[in-house]
Structure 1
């Protein structure tokens, strides 16, 4: 093990341990070098896709907000419908959203999805587990229900931890006060067992709440046992956060870093965790994945972030400890429009879905031949 550590890593470790910095300048976004990359459109026949992930069948699994779960052949671009979930109600940015597959899919072919629906006139979100059989999804089991939803601020990205717990992001559903209310599931990151039960070691006994004070977290990825999330700010301070058990992430009392007098007071009194990266003005960050392949060496050890408002893919190079950001590079700005999510294949190709509402695309990026 090295006996030295960079200043950036020291700063990150202090932050991760809960020490407060008064402020931190944004890492500038620099144009990334695409000379050794090649990009192409696999298909342009999607409508508001939300999730893309690499499946165990070597296909891309995708959700669309209108209720479709489909697979895309990364060789031909052909789309195969797996399931249309009829209960889904899509309003604004609501609908069929996050999805994740069981990590032991061959033995346990379970598919976890999150979607909005109408319940007696109330717009809500539920988490449902399906079984994949015969090319479709069967036997739905509701794991978690009655999560507030709205036309926006639904969050809703899913991830499964190495110890097989399901993590769920939920936005404040356009009511900011919910984020600080530990009894309200909105504005939270929740953690449940894969059967829907509540883990005994959750911060609050009998509650799925894992962290709180979130506005609209739309990205979630595990790197080992460390959980990273991307989150929409309001007029300022979009964020990348390291999610920690039981921690308060500040919204609506804190935006970004604890750097105003009121924020410093609230942060000190409420053990607020600060982001490792923030952007002002906002960029509208969405899905993230972690690149640790050799195929595109310049991206190794980086979070890849799909960006909506600024219509780009960001490479967020982490420090060696994974606790801070060394640099941010931007790729394909304004080339494909709004980018919603990103996935990585086992051989190091990168796949991006757009969110433009018409002829939405799957884009493949690989090292140039």
Structure 2
């Protein structure tokens, strides 16, 4: 359902000014925002026009369901009937693939995670959005608005889709006592050597950095996405050490479920949707938010700066965060919705409680995926941090 496939080689973060391709531009570039770069001088759409008849989307699997996978799961057909915009979807397996696809100029909107959104903003691939053209934006949780991965200088570059945490899952018949720390997957003396699993992506370096934040405070890590040379090397060294413990790296959620069902994997990083499906298939698993906290995601629907069908794209953004559709996708995928009113629309009345939708204290422990850039995202100006291109090179080296 999500992040299926192997990661593509990531291009270096392009901190360049790009033309808007039809979008009105300002005469001077904005000042650097909290994300640490000067975004291209693009302006959002000023008014909503007649729909173009179609919209081309890049999305995570499970985000744009039209009943073809499950006849009971369909929030696309009502959208098409109401707006006259035919939805064409390209499912991407990784954030790197999303960035590559959006750079082709063939797509109107994308459900970007935080490890892709800044790259898309900085390269001028996506434009700011005019939230006054998106009525349902009003009801989005404040905890998801104007964040470093979806805005610059308070200017929004999309609408939040939902959010979730990267949890620790284990087989209850094998891993005892029940773990409450990431140490079970990083300790070189872990008794589960060869049956530990880890997420297959350069952004997983942040998971190691997060663990080091708690266990090696002398490193001074304040954000797992803002790592100077020493901090970065410590995280890389930890992951090289962990590689001796890992039986399998995963990006296909179905493969992780199968590995836990068979017992080939007994402990590792996961998503709540994987826990839910694994349990439904009788795997003896549980999951926890470890005491160190966790990384996680908050995906953002963004509009291409050169969108051929911007009016239908804006209609899609409003639709997917509407209470009913947002409830459907959040429940189907297994995440917290972004629209507060969606909690009243879920089939399971306990869905928002299960996924901590209104629990900002819970989400305060989540370090959302954010694209690492050279200007340290933790505010430091006296050092240079490792950017995503360097994370990608290091990940290739870690896996060998």
Same fold (TM over 0.5): no
Q: Which has the higher helix share?
A: 2
Q: Pick the structure with greater CA Rg.
A: 2
TM-score (norm 2): 0.23
TM-score (norm 1): 0.25
